[in-house]
Structure 1
Amino acid sequence: MTPRPLIAGNWKMNGLLRHLTELEAISGACAGMGEGKDLLICPPATLLSASAGLLFGKAAIGGQDCHAETSGAYTGDVAAEMLADLGATYVIVGHSERRAGHGESDADVRAKAQAAWRAGLTAIICLGESAEDHEAGEKLRVLGAQLAASVPDGMSAKNTVIAYEPIWAIGSGRTPTTEDIANVHDFLRQNLAERFGKEVADGVRLLYGGSVKPDNAAEILAIVNVDGALIGGASLKAADFVAICRACPSSKD
């Protein structure tokens, strides 16, 4: 049995109240589409509450990051419990833009994943190699190290999703070949099985992210061990996000 697919949209630092019209369009188009697949939007924190109301029953809502602590003197940060309080059920941790732009280490990502679990959220743990690592043939070594250090003990299919996003592909319009994507996802599944056991590993959803668009989504989502997608820019436009959701099969059985 293959994992239930997940199509997740990451709005990043985009979106004002007036842009909720895109969510309204997504909500209308997604009615009934969630049968056999899960849909998720991760808007900026300022839109979480309004988004939860608009998408209730049609798509899930998630945060884009969380702090490892429950509360405290952390000006500008958001606790996982705060996200859950607004209706979020997922949170992205370890995105390459957080790792690079905010200096987050694998240990930081692991702590945030544990915080997500503590709050009852599913952690979407992101992994990805740089262009330099990719070109040097270090991709699998880098990904294996990130996977080992970023994923806490106690991972399950219920509390964790793994997202592979090659850094050089994010927002670039470039994507790896289907063979490259398949090799990475096979590698991740095998590594998870060695650490957590085959039953757990087979149930964990492995997403691909990095320039996923309506015109390449069907090909990417048909790859074995690709259980959905983490979408950036294309999730900001209802028509593009809905087209990708429609391209996702309910299962690969």
Structure 2
Amino acid sequence: MAATSTSLFSSNLHSLNSQPFSSSLSFRNVHSTLSFPSSKPSRGVVAMAGSGKFFVGGNWKCNGTKDSIRKLVSDLNSATLESDVDVVVAPPFVYIDQVKNSITDRIEISAQNSWVGKGGAFTGEISVEQLKDLGCKWVILGHSERRHVIGENDEFIGKKAVYALSEGLGVIACIGELLQEREAGKTFDVCFQQLKAFADVVPSWDNIVIAYEPVWAIGTGKVATPEQAQEVHAAVRDWLKKNVSAEVSSKTRIIYGGSVNASNSAELAKQEDIDGFLVGGASLKGPEFATIINSVTSKKVVA
């Protein structure tokens, strides 16, 4: 059994940008044994809590040691950050408590994932209640590495979002297409399908930030041009207007992720519908992450 699992993981990891994920992994049995908040309210429930601030999240993924994270937190604590930016970092689970207890209150804590319901006999999972106990305010859900490496599907991700929101966590809801889906002209179809999976179940968009992450640009060094990113962000906002409400469309922040760094963040930030970033590798370097956060000044210049 262990050999089969290892083989599946390796196959998924190496094929991430080469072919659409097709896995025998299924969460239907899990779905059938868990209960979730029932039907959502009508479309009349709209986002009223959006601060409108630029939003920058740092996803540290499966990186770091106690010592390296101590240094990173020290760098962030000493950095001068623009005041009108919401800043969030997502450490590995095992370092959340360390970061929460040492980082400036200016920066909030996110988890990189959460379990789909209440805790219990779910080996290796972390519940929303446990995350709240550690001081987390946000959780990243639907990241491409969860979708295409671990095998989570739209339905499962949507249920995770419902539960996290019901317990008071904000959700960074990730969407994005594979390289061959972009080349086949399916970027909008894929993103809209992933958006619909959230829209069909969430009761409110008050505490949701959408992160568009083209899979082909994550960790590859490739990045969508500012124009390519803006095109998708504008389409996502239009989809929200047509399928949720005009108010949700205007108030929901849509951030970009995909090899964002200090060199390209300013140009990306100038785009009208880019409301911030979800940063991977560059968020592990305190000074560079601070530069990305402060790219909000480019947005101000354009405005």
Aligned ranges for residues 123-142 of structure 1 at < 5 Å? 123-142=171-190
Q: CA–CA distance in 2 between the matches of 1:56 and 1:198?
A: 36
Q: CA–CA distance in 2 between the matches of 1:54 and 1:34?
A: 20
2:77 to 22, 27, 31: 27
Contact kept in structure 1, 2:59 and 2:89, CA below 8 Å: yes
Match of residue 168 from structure 2 = 120
The alignment's TM-score, normalised by the length of structure 2, stands at 0.79
Structure-2 change in CA distance of 1:34 and 1:75 (3 Å): farther
Shift of 1:34: 4.8
Q: CA–CA distance in 2 between the matches of 1:128 and 1:155?
A: 22
Letter in structure 2 aligned against 1:10: N
Match of residue 228 from structure 1 = 276
2:238 to 176, 190, 193: 190
Structure-2 change in CA distance of 1:87 and 1:34 (3 Å): farther
Contact kept in structure 1, 2:218 and 2:259, CA below 8 Å: yes
Structure-2 change in CA distance of 1:69 and 1:79 (3 Å): same
Shift of 1:55: 1.9
Letter in structure 2 aligned against 1:212: V
Match of residue 218 from structure 1 = 266
Q: Does 1:240 align with 2:293?
A: no
Aligned ranges for residues 72-91 of structure 1 at < 5 Å? 72-91=120-139
Q: Does 1:94 align with 2:142?
A: yes
Gaps of 5+ in 2: 1-49
Match of residue 54 from structure 1 = 102
Contact kept in structure 2, 1:34 and 1:59, CA below 8 Å: no
2:207 to 151, 154, 159: 159
Shift of 1:46: 0.6
Q: Does 1:66 align with 2:114?
A: yes
Contact kept in structure 1, 2:158 and 2:202, CA below 8 Å: no
Q: Does 1:177 align with 2:253?
A: no
Aligned residues: 250
Contact kept in structure 1, 2:55 and 2:275, CA below 8 Å: yes
SS of equivalent to 2:79: helix
SS of equivalent to 2:102: helix
Match of residue 16 from structure 1 = 65
Bigger CA radius of gyration: 2
SS of equivalent to 1:57: coil
RMSD of the alignment, in Å? 1.6
Q: CA–CA distance in 1 between the matches of 2:263 and 2:251?
A: 28
Contact kept in structure 1, 2:90 and 2:109, CA below 8 Å: yes
Letter in structure 2 aligned against 1:239: P
SS of equivalent to 1:54: coil
Contact kept in structure 2, 1:205 and 1:227, CA below 8 Å: yes
Contact kept in structure 2, 1:3 and 1:202, CA below 8 Å: no
Q: CA–CA distance in 1 between the matches of 2:129 and 2:76?
A: 26
SS of equivalent to 2:156: helix
Q: CA–CA distance in 2 between the matches of 1:159 and 1:240?
A: 27
Deviation track 1:175-226 (CA, whole Å, cap 9, x = no partner) reads: 1122211110011111111222111221111010001010000000111110
Shift of 1:150: 3.0
Shift of 1:155: 2.8
Q: CA–CA distance in 1 between the matches of 2:278 and 2:140?
A: 10
SS of equivalent to 1:124: strand
Shift of 1:112: 0.9
* Fraction of identical pairs, as percent: 35
